[in-house]
Amino acid sequence: MRKNILVLLGVVTIISLMIFSYWKMKTPTIQEAYERPAAIVKTLTIKPRIWAQWVAAIGSLSAHRHLEIQAGVAGKVDYVRFEGGEHVKKGDILVQMDPRDAKADLKSVKASLEQTRQTFNRQKQLMAKHMFAPEQFDQTKAKLMQQESAYEQAKIALQRKNIEAPFSGVLGQRKIEVGEHLQPGTPIAELYQVSSLYVDYSVPGKYLPELNLGQKITVEVPDVMRREITGKVNYIAPAVDMKTNTVTIRAYINNKDNKLRPGQFVKVDQYLGEVKNALVVPVDCVVKELTGAYVFVAKNGSAIKKKVDLGTSFDHMVHVLSGLQPGEAVIVEGEDDLMDGQLISIQRENKGK
């Protein structure tokens, strides 16, 4: 056991020495930086500004309403008035079933109801003259109520022989054929309301304090549409997912031109609010290393490497939370091969944003 530990320590020591030697070899000295020729760079003097915070995410679309249309009563299919994929309006008849059995049932129930109603009216007149037993009258009254209920149910059964669209939307694949005998609950087709959609996505949990219901989002599908669609947040998960450290969000978007469909993936930009007196720099001028993010600033004819903490990025710019001061000239071009302390020649200065 002790021997294994000694071997392991030896391996760790060798690897550490190799990493240190490589780092030392790759890390330029101040002397090396000064010996290099002056690099030609462009700078940007940063100034405080109002920064609109946005965070990007990938979302998936789902229908605002989605329902599997089913047969409500048993019967044989006489007509199917859709193929699948078409738009329908609420109340459109999709399937017509053979109504003959339902009509016969309704006719029979109606005849029994009319007979019982006549009996009830005669007994009611006799009851007013105290010439009829109350117990028998109550039985007739109960029978009348039962038959009235049966009549209403028979009317509903006949109505259900026509299967209608419960709301406006787009039909999915047709699942039945003419002549098929249906049972209650037999699937007819899926119906999707696509004039409005939900988009579900997640953002890092650190943004939870900035999230609010009603906040604006923009949705974009570059390969499908040339313009953005705006929407509003209508659900924010009450807790951060411990496994992913993200917050689940659902937003509502208008899809009145029907360009989008449930199941598509979209690019989402979530608005988080504004920051006053923010310092921002172009994303491309930030150098990312294992030890953090850095930018170079021009000072006294040299490039000075400064570590920065970054916030949100949007439209090729990133918010610098700390590490820079207003008025500093950040090197925005020519920074790729710079060394800390290297001499520079400023070609021209870009205007601050």
Name the domain boundary from 175, 190, 205: 190
Q: Which residue has the higher pLDDT, 315 or 67?
A: 67
Give residue for tokens 């360009």: 259
Asked whether residue 248 is domain-assigned, the answer is yes
Residues 222 and 152 in one domain: no
Give residue for tokens 């029979």: 108
pLDDT at 344 over 70: yes
User: Is residue 70 a contact partner of residue 189, using CB atoms and an 8 Å limit?
Assistant: no
pLDDT at 22 over 60: no
- Output the pLDDT for position 9: 56
Residues 229 and 263 in one domain: yes
Alpha helices in 40-85 (DSSP H): none
**DSSP secondary structure string, 311-350?**
EEEETTEEEEEES--TT-EEEEES-TT--TT-BEEEEEEE
Q: Which residues contact residue 301 at a Cβ distance below 8 angstroms, ignoring those fewer than 6 apart?
A: 343, 344
Asked whether residue 222 is domain-assigned, the answer is yes
- Output the pLDDT for position 135: 87
- Output the pLDDT for position 20: 47
Asked whether residue 19 is domain-assigned, the answer is no
Could you give the number of structural domains in the chain? 3
Residues 329 and 301 in one domain: yes
Output the domain CATH number for residue 283. 2.40.420.20
User: Is residue 90 a contact partner of residue 167, using CB atoms and an 8 Å limit?
Assistant: yes
CA pair distance 126, 212, nearest whole angstrom? 71
Name the domain boundary from 241, 272, 303: 272
- Among 61-65, 117-121, 221-225, 263-267, which is the least confidently predicted range? 221-225
Residues 60 and 83 in one domain: no
- Output the pLDDT for position 16: 55
Output the domain CATH number for residue 251. 2.40.30.170
Beta bridge partners, 292, equal 289
Average pLDDT over residues 94-110: 90
Residues 177 and 111 in one domain: yes
Residues 169 and 124 in one domain: yes
43: three-class secondary structure by DSSP: strand
Q: What is the mean pLDDT of the chain?
A: 86
Q: Which residue has the higher pLDDT, 129 or 333?
A: 333
Return the H-helix or E-strand segment holding 11: helix 2-26
pLDDT at 26 over 70: no
Over residues 292-322, the pLDDT tens digits come to: 999 999 999 899 999 999 988 888 999 999 9
Name the domain boundary from 253, 272, 291: 272
Half-sphere exposure of 60 (CA within 13 A, CB side): 3
Residues 60 and 206 in one domain: yes
CA pair distance 23, 279, nearest whole angstrom? 32
- Model confidence band, residue 233 (pLDDT cutoffs 50, 70, 90): very high
- Output the pLDDT for position 318: 93
- Output the pLDDT for position 36: 66
pLDDT at 226 over 80: no
Asked whether residue 12 is domain-assigned, the answer is no
Return the H-helix or E-strand segment holding 41: strand 39-45
b/e sequence 211-232, b meaning 16+ C-beta within 10 Å: beeebebbbebeeeeeeebebe
- Model confidence band, residue 203 (pLDDT cutoffs 50, 70, 90): very high
User: Which residue range is the domain that position 126 belongs to?
Assistant: 66-190
* Sheet of strand 162-164, all strands in order from the earlier edge strand to the far edge: 162-164, 93-97, 75-80, 181-182
Output the domain CATH number for residue 159. 2.40.50.100
Residues 151 and 124 in one domain: yes
Residues 118 and 203 in one domain: no
Asked whether residue 296 is domain-assigned, the answer is yes
Residues 214 and 174 in one domain: no
**Percent of the chain clearing pLDDT 90 (strictly above):** 57
- Output the pLDDT for position 23: 44
Asked whether residue 17 is domain-assigned, the answer is no
Residues 208 and 298 in one domain: no
Asked whether residue 5 is domain-assigned, the answer is no
Asked whether residue 6 is domain-assigned, the answer is no
CA pair distance 292, 331, nearest whole angstrom? 18
Q: Report helix angle 134-159 to 100-128, nearest 10.
A: 160
